[in-house]
Amino acid sequence: MGDLHRLGATDTSCVGRRPQSGRRRCTVTTAQKNKPSDTDSGDLEVATNDVRLVGRLTGEPAVVELPSGDALVTFRISVPRAAPRRGAASGTAKGQRVDSVPCTAWSPRVRRSILGWRPGDLVEVSGAVRCRFYQAGGATRSRVEVEATSAKIIRRSSAA
C-alpha cells in the first residue's frame, strides 16, 4: 500500500467498520496515483499536497484547546505574491501584494518551536493544505489552512 504517514499526506482512504467511538479508521498515503484518461499518453500523474511558505509572522502564535482535549497552535504568515505577468488578468484587488495565510501546528515539537516566534520574524513552514470542519454556534463551519509539519526561523525580527 506504500508509505504511510499521519501528516503531510495527500490521500485519505477510510477503511473498515466504524469503531464504537463513532470514528473511522483511516489510512493516509503520501501520494495518490490518478488513473490515466483517454487523452493521456498512458503516463500516470501524481497528485501532491506539499506547501512551503517563506514569509513574516503577522502576530503572536496562539494556543487553542479543542473540546476533544487536543491542543494546536494557530498563526498567520504574510507571504509576498509573485509579480503578475504582463497582460495577465490578476483577479485580485489592485495593489494587493501579499497574502496572509492561516496555519496550524498539531505536533508537540512543532508547536513548541512556533511558540518561541515573535511577530515580524522571517520563517519557513512546510506542510499541507487542510480543510478542517468544526461546530460553532450550532452550525458546522470549515477552515482552509496550512497544517505545518516542520517550521523554522530564518531571521529574527529586529523589533524587540
Q: What is the pTM of this model?
A: 0.65
Segments forming the whole domain that contains residue 118: 50-81+97-160
CA atoms within 13 A on the CB side of 111: 14
Q: Is residue 105 part of a domain?
A: yes
**Residue 86 confidence (pLDDT) above 50:** yes
Q: Are residues 110 and 150 in the same domain?
A: yes
**Residue 39 confidence (pLDDT) above 70:** no
**Residue 79 confidence (pLDDT) above 50:** yes
Q: What are the counts of helices (DSSP H) followed by strands (DSSP E) for the chain?
A: 1, 10
Tell me the average pLDDT of the chain: 77
Q: Are residues 64 and 26 in the same domain?
A: no
Contacts 24+ apart (CB under 8 A), 63-68: 63/111, 63/115
Between 38 and 111, the higher pLDDT residue = 111
Cα separation, 74 vs 130, in Å, equals 13
Cα separation, 52 vs 25, in Å, equals 28
C-alpha cell at 131: 480543510
Q: Are residues 54 and 29 in the same domain?
A: no
β partners of residue 122: 56, 155
Compute and round to an integer the Cα radius of gyration of the chain: 19
Q: Mean pLDDT over residues 45-74, rounded? A: 94
| pLDDT tens column, 134-145 | 888 899 999 999
**Residue 59 confidence (pLDDT) above 90:** yes
Q: Are residues 137 and 68 in the same domain?
A: yes
- Is the distance from CB of 104 to CB of 74 less than 8 angstroms? yes
8: left (phi over 0), alpha (psi -120 to 50) or beta: left
Q: Is residue 120 part of a domain?
A: yes
pLDDT band of residue 63 (cuts 50, 70, 90) is: very high
**Residue 18 confidence (pLDDT) above 80:** no
Cα separation, 111 vs 102, in Å, equals 15
| Residue 122's CATH number | 2.40.50.140
